[in-house]
Amino acid sequence: MRSIGEMGRDSGLGVSALRFYDRAGVLVPARVDPATGYRWYAPEQLDEARLLARLRQAGMPLVDVRLVLAGWSAGDTGVVPRLLDGHLRRLERELADARGALSAVRARLGAEEHSLNTATTTDATTTDATTAAARLTLPAADLAAALDAVRFAVSADPELPVLAGVLFDVDGADLHLVATDRFRMAVARTAATGHDGDRAAATVPTPLVDAMRALLADDAPVRLTIGADGVELETQGRRVAGQVVGEEFPDHRRLTRLPEGRRLTVDVPVLRRALRAQDGDVCVLVLTDTVEVADDRAAASGPAGGSTGDRVGVNPGYLLDALAGAGEEMVLEYLGPKAPLVLVHPDVEDVFSLLMPVALDA
């Protein structure tokens, strides 16, 4: 066994990083001393830690790192190259955007003063026209339901401002709303009219999302304008508008292209009661032909309540959030011990959420 200091030195992650990845459920030590809380790592975890360090050095988001590690440990030779190629393409796009922005700055700095002033005035007077990438119309009730289905997954981490909002992604006649805090992701789709151009996307910050939701009190038509710098919602003469988050949201389409898993029917009221009875931030689900909550963490290593099946650790509060607004039944799709759990409404294919599992003690 390696101590946390040895693991940090040999992997290049450092002790503070190892503590963070333990709390995040990405790289959990094989053993934690119950008296001192000191972390110990198994020898085979060194390769996983080194891979994690390289991925973070390459700037890969943690939600992607989770999927790479899950695919690598499962021996999936297809998903890992796709994730790496996707991240490389994103870095190349960001580099091209940075080069373009710096070229524009150089051009402005080299221009004459009166030309710069004229350009600034023009920008200020034409903002609405130049940033309106998509204008669409949809019923208020549809947009309200979509916002309610994803709002719980918005990140509250001040160090991740790019996730502090809801992605509005318009592609043809479809409006996708997406939210994630790295540990879970919620996606909802609703149909809209009025836009038949290229794909347009913007991340709407949380306060503006809540202000928009407050206007959706009835089924009146909603006019939504999504631009590169701002978003506007208008309904029945009331209007709310504001700026969008200026950083690129993770590509939800790539993250949700998961292989088909084992589908289990969830008795929502029964599962809710069991989750609310949990005392702690981790509980164990027992997956047989149904979904049950084990009596305690010890059930992770043996039969619980006389039943056998796959066991997976989850945050009970996060799972309760995903069940909010559900009817009597939902469908849970199980892909593997380190893969996300997929929760879908049996009769609403356009609304689903992903929940990352919590690693259980070895």
Quick one: residue 131, left, alpha or beta (phi over 0 = left, psi -120 to 50 = alpha)?
alpha
Alpha-carbon span 240 to 233, nearest angstrom: 5
275: helix, coil or strand?
Answer: helix
Q: Over 90: is that where the pLDDT of 166 sits?
A: yes
pLDDT at 168: 94
Tokens of 90: 């994103």
Q: Which of 188, 192, 115, 180 is nearest to 153 (CA)?
A: 180
Residues 76-113 pLDDT 10s: 667 788 888 888 888 877 777 777 677 666 666 654 44
Residues 192-242 pLDDT 10s: 888 777 788 899 999 999 999 988 877 788 999 988 778 999 988 888 999
Mean pLDDT of the chain: 80
pLDDT at 258: 62
Alpha-carbon span 339 to 301, nearest angstrom: 19
Query: Rounded to the nearest 5°, which phi and psi values hold at 291?
Result: -120, 120
Alpha-carbon span 21 to 359, nearest angstrom: 11
Listed range (111-115, 143-147, 336-340) with the worst mean pLDDT:
111-115
Residues 171-185 pLDDT 10s: 888 899 999 988 889
Domains of the chain: 2-57 (1.10.1660.10), 127-250 (3.10.150.10), 258-355 (3.10.150.10)
Strand spans (E) along the chain:
2-3, 31-32, 39-41, 132-139, 165-171, 174-180, 184-191, 200-205, 221-227, 230-235, 238-243, 262-267, 283-287, 291-293, 310-314, 329-334, 341-345, 348-355
Tokens of 75: 């021996």
How large is the average pLDDT for residues 253-261?
A: 68
Alpha-carbon span 201 to 136, nearest angstrom: 13
The model scores a pTM over 0.85 = no
Q: Over 50: is that where the pLDDT of 123 sits?
A: no
Long-range contacts of 308-312 (CB under 8 A, 24+ apart): 310/286, 310/334, 310/337, 311/284, 311/285, 311/286, 311/287, 311/360, 312/284, 312/285, 312/287, 312/337, 312/341, 312/357, 312/360
